[in-house]
């Protein structure tokens, strides 16, 4: 390695990436370095980033990546590895809150594209992919997270509209969103009674409360109440009582991209800790010359390499039409445990310097838990994988 332990040097070569992927990485890195990285600390302390960043991201093709071109997306010549690169380059800035807030359409819009009719897709997708409107996915409820089959928020059909009552919580971009993609119960108990409903956030009866969090400060997270909210029946996304499959598919992609982010955050931790260890003098020599410190780096790189290989394999499987639920579940666990280990070890190496705000490692350390819980907790992921194995 000509540049030992820097961000690029800790990414294993991927046999599935070619010239177009490297060109995309170079273009996106220029955008992140110019528009995002210099402002991360300020935005984190302010608890928000400028809304116009969405439009800037749309202009460079980031928001539309992988979405149909008829709605303003970028589909031709794009595969899942381009999306993995997007996750890695955004994470390089060292803020999960930035990634979650800027890319919230990545979980809010796919159910509309996958399940919705032409009218609702044409009405919603173009403005979202242009960065003009924001959309949030609303699944989690106060009484349950991963147990989506028991969603309680109810949508009752009354003539040409639905009346929605219930509550969602831990909703990313819940306060800023213009549109809400809401999992609701339109039928009986269990998975067979669930639907997706598009709810405009300014409808009467919708109220939102911003939640204070350990990390992801610049990404708003909300509890949303629906009190007799009237929603036109044309806002139904797909068929009534057929939303569960869409929820599960959405989770699979969310877990893949979260794994890519977690591994990239691990590489950030290695990079910053290595830079510090090379400069910090202790007992008459650089910190990096102490064997116990060198072993920490060896362990971090070992975990990153294993996680990256698993990531690339899972991405290749999905790219080729597979739905490896067990592998995607285990990948997320592997990636977030890698992130937790690297954040812990990097913090130890940085010592007091890592405890200070404004440090990428400090921010990543605060965000470990949300990565390990969000999108499916480690316990849920392990149990889901075991069940997929027939146990």
- Tell me the C-alpha distance between 186 and 180, whole Å: 17
Beta-sheet strands, E only, within 57-140: 135-138
Determine which one of 254, 340, 345, 367 is catalytic.
254
- Nearest to 49, CA basis, from 165, 216, 248: 216
- Tell me the C-alpha distance between 101 and 307, whole Å: 25
With 0-12 / 13-18 / 19 or more C-beta atoms within 10 angstroms meaning exposed / middle / buried, residue 47 is middle
- Nearest to 254, CA basis, from 312, 322, 332: 332
Sole residue written with tokens 């909703």: 171
Which residues contact residue 237 at a Cβ distance below 8 angstroms, ignoring those fewer than 6 apart?
A: 111, 112, 115, 116, 120, 181, 195, 196, 197, 198, 243, 246
- Tell me the C-alpha distance between 230 and 226, whole Å: 9
Residue 144 tokens, joined: 């349950």
- Tell me the C-alpha distance between 267 and 273, whole Å: 10
- Tell me the C-alpha distance between 181 and 238, whole Å: 12
Confirm whether 254 is a catalytic residue. yes
- Nearest to 25, CA basis, from 211, 325, 244, 264: 264
Q: Which residues are catalytic?
A: 254
């Amino acid at each position: 390695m000509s540049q030992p332990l820097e961000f690029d040097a800790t990414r294993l070569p991927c046999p599935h990436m070619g010239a177009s992927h490297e060109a995309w990485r170079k273009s996106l890195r220029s955008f992140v370095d110019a528009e995002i990285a210099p402002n991360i600390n300020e935005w984190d302390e302010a608890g928000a980033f400028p809304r116009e960043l969405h439009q800037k991201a749309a202009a460079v093709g980031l928001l539309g990546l992988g979405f149909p071109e008829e709605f303003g997306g970028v589909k031709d010549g794009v595969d899942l590895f381009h999306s993995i690169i997007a996750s890695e380059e955004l994470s390089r800035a060292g803020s999960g809150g930035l990634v979650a807030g800027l890319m919230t359409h990545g979980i809010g819009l796919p159910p509309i594209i996958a399940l919705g009719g032409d009218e609702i897709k044409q009405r919603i997708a173009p403005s979202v992919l242009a960065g003009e409107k924001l959309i949030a996915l609303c699944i989690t409820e106060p009484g349950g997270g991963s147990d989506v089959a028991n969603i309680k928020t109810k949508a009752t059909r009354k003539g040409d509209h639905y009346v929605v009552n219930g509550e969602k919580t831990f909703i990313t971009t819940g306060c800023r969103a213009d549109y809400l993609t809401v999992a609701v119960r339109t039928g009986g108990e269990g998975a067979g009674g669930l639907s997706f409903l598009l709810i405009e956030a300014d409808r009467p009866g919708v109220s939102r409360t911003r939640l204070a969090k350990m990390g992801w400060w610049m990404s708003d997270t909300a509890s949303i109440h629906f009190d007799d909210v009237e929603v036109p029946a044309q806002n139904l996304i797909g068929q009534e009582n057929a939303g569960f499959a869409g929820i599960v598919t959405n989770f699979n992609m969310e877990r893949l991209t979260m794994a890519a982010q977690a591994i990239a955050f691990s590489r950030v931790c290695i990079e910053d800790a290595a830079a510090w260890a090379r400069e910090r003098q202790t007992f008459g020599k650089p910190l990096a010359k102490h064997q116990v410190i060198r072993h920490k780096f060896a362990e971090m790189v070992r975990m990153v390499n294993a996680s990256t290989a698993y990531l690339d394999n899972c991405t290749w499987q999905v790219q080729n039409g597979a739905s490896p639920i067990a592998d995607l579940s285990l990948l997320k666990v592997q990636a977030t445990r890698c992130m937790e280990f690297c954040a812990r070890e990097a913090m130890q190496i940085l010592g007091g310097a890592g405890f200070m705000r404004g440090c990428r490692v400090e921010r990543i350390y605060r965000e470990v838990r949300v990565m390990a819980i969000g999108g499916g907790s480690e316990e849920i992921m392990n149990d889901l994988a075991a069940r997929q194995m027939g146990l």
